[in-house]
Amino acid sequence: MDWIKDIGKTFVYITTGSLISAAIFITIFAPESVLTYHILWQIAGLSLICALGNLIFYSPREYGKKQMWVRRIIHYVYVNLVIIVGGYLCEWLETGFFPEILYLLVVVAIIYFAIMYLIFQKDAKIADTLNRKLSRRGSSEEDEN
């Protein structure tokens, strides 16, 4: 059930990054636009679809570094496709307007790597905490013997 928590946390990270990048995007490319509540549902929906992409990383068995990198690449491509296709379907992008697509690709990269960094930091902190607890447990067991 930890995977559900992970997807939920990733959803929150993606939604936050998407809202900030949407505000910047609209300010740069469409400052005269009038938005409706639909954009909030679109952002939430695309964020959920992107977060569900984390299922690529779940496996009943462990895998090596090479397979992990392959999964990361597949995941990154998946997220980009979701955002670009979703951007067209939600009419955020105009066909053939390259600066908008380039902006989205850059923003997706920034958000993606920021989220990866946050998750890496969280995992490292958990591993450090577990290692300290195991070290203390090992020391107390040695003292008893």
pTM over 0.85: no
Q: Which domain holds residue 81?
A: 2-144
> pLDDT by residue (tens digit) across 99-142?
878 888 888 898 888 888 888 898 889 888 988 888 888 776 66
Q: Residue 23 in contact with residue 56, Cβ under 8 Å? A: no
Q: Note whether 29 and 103 are within 8 A (CB).
A: yes
Among candidates 68, 72, 80, 73, which has minimal Cα distance to 14?
80
Question: What end-to-end distance do the CA atoms of the chain give, in Å?
Answer: 38
pLDDT, one tens digit per residue, over 22-55 is 888 888 878 898 888 899 999 999 999 999 999 9
CA distances 74 to 41, 56, 129, Å, are 26, 8, 31
Q: Provide the number of structural domains found in the chain.
A: 1
Q: Which two tokens stand for residue 92?
A: 């955020």
At 9, list the tokens: 């946390």
Torsion of CA 117, 123, 124, 130, to 10 degrees: 170
